[in-house]
Amino acid sequence: MTMKKRKTITRRDFLRGTVYSALGVTLDSTLGKETGAEEKVKVVLIRDENVSDQQGNINLKIIQNMLDDGVCELLGEENPIHAWKKLIKPTDIVGIKSNAWGPLPTPPELEAVIEQRVLDAGVLQRNISIDDRGVLNNPVFRSSTALINVHPLRTHFWSGVGGCIKNYIMFTSTPWLYHADSCSPLASIWSKPIVRGKTRLNILSLIRTQFWSRGAHHFDRRFVSEYKGLLMGRDPVALDAVGARLLQLQRIAHFGEDRPLDTTPKHIFVADEKYKLGISDLRRIQIVKLGWAAGTLI
């Protein structure tokens, strides 16, 4: 399948306000406007202002509640264990694909509460593993029947945004082959046998979000927001599209202007249009918001 040829996008398309229509997607303030009868993808945003303290310590009980409430809302269940049993069977072998990037890793507390709910769904401890860079050599991941995908939301030099789609790059032994064209082929990794069709839940950790990159490792504490949220859904593309928009709004709020990223996160749009992994058009995404509302931006 080939993607239809598109015009070259330049700064002038941004000035005209036509850039996202040129990309074939919408990533702007049309969010929430009606688009007709097409079915929308549901994602759940939940926030709690007490989930972390001023030192960044995460309250385990609160993040457990956030996860539970979000999954219940996503699946239309009252009881979180029942909800997780809709996602995971007791016989599943479950890989929790996390992210270990030093400055802003997936919070260990979030990993722990996910693992607890997988156990509560009846999966044996020996059939659960949490890993990032070692997944290709991890026996649980190699024989997994189900994956939970969890990644912090942040800007990324080479792909624009690091989120759910990019998190699976460790399922290839040659990640650098996916760096071309702003990492646009990233979604192709999702069709590899080790992951294809296995992902039951995607979570973007918004506890802390990095909305701008600077410094030795493209990390600067000044450009990290204590957003205190989780974004959950079945569609990784929808989550990343909402995440990209959130980072854009955080940059506007912080700098007073829309600072473009080093790289346009086109891999999100390509994941939709070429690889059919999910929906990137914000008009086709329903965001259900729960909890703390101040500064939600979206």
Using the minimum distance from each CB to other proteins, give the nearer residue, 55 or 125: 55
Q: Which is nearer to other proteins, 59 or 213 (CB)?
A: 213
Shortest Cβ 186–other proteins spacing (Å): 13
Alpha carbon dihedral 64, 128, 96, 196, in 10-degree steps, equals -140
Paired residues of 204 in beta bridges: 151, 231
Least Å from the CB of residue 5 to other proteins = 12
- Closest approach of other proteins to the CB of residue 227, in Å: 19
> At closest approach, how far in Å is the CB of 105 from other proteins?
11
Residue number, 19 or 67, with CB nearest to other proteins? 19
Q: CA quadruple 206, 251, 278, 75: dihedral positive or negative?
A: positive
Report the nearest approach of other proteins to the CB of residue 16 (Å): 5
Question: What distance in Å separates the CA atoms of residue 176 and residue 183, rounded to the nearest whole number?
Answer: 9
The answer to whether the beta carbons of residues 93 and 145 sit under 8 Å apart is yes
Residue 70 or 265: which CB sits closer to other proteins?
265
Tokens of 209: 């979000």
Q: Which residues bind other proteins (CB under 8 A)?
A: 8-12, 14-16, 101-102, 156-158, 162, 175-176, 179, 182, 213-222, 260, 262-264, 266
CA triplet 162, 238, 98: central angle to 5 degrees? 40
Per-residue buried b or exposed e for 128-137, using 16+ beta carbons within 10 Å of the residue's own CB = bbbbbeebee
Cβ distance to other proteins smaller for residue 4 or 12: 12
CB of 215 to other proteins, least distance (A): 5
Q: Among all chains, which residue has been given the structure tokens 């973007």? A: 204
Token pair, residue 283, equals 């008009």
Q: Which residues contact 15 (CB under 8 A, 6 or more apart)?
A: none
Amino acid at 229: G
Considering the complex, what minimum distance in angstroms separates the CB of residue 104 from other proteins? Answer: 11
Retrieve residue 270's tokens.
Answer: 């390509």
Q: Least distance in Å: CB of 270 to other proteins?
A: 12
Contacts of 36 (CB under 8 A, 6+ apart): none
Nearest-10 Cα torsion for 95, 97, 102, 103: -140
* Residue number, 1 or 216, with CB nearest to other proteins: 216
* CA quadruple 280, 286, 292, 298: dihedral sign: positive
The residue among 4 and 222 lying less far from other proteins, judged by its C-beta, is 222
Nearer to other proteins (CB atom), residue 11 or residue 33: 11
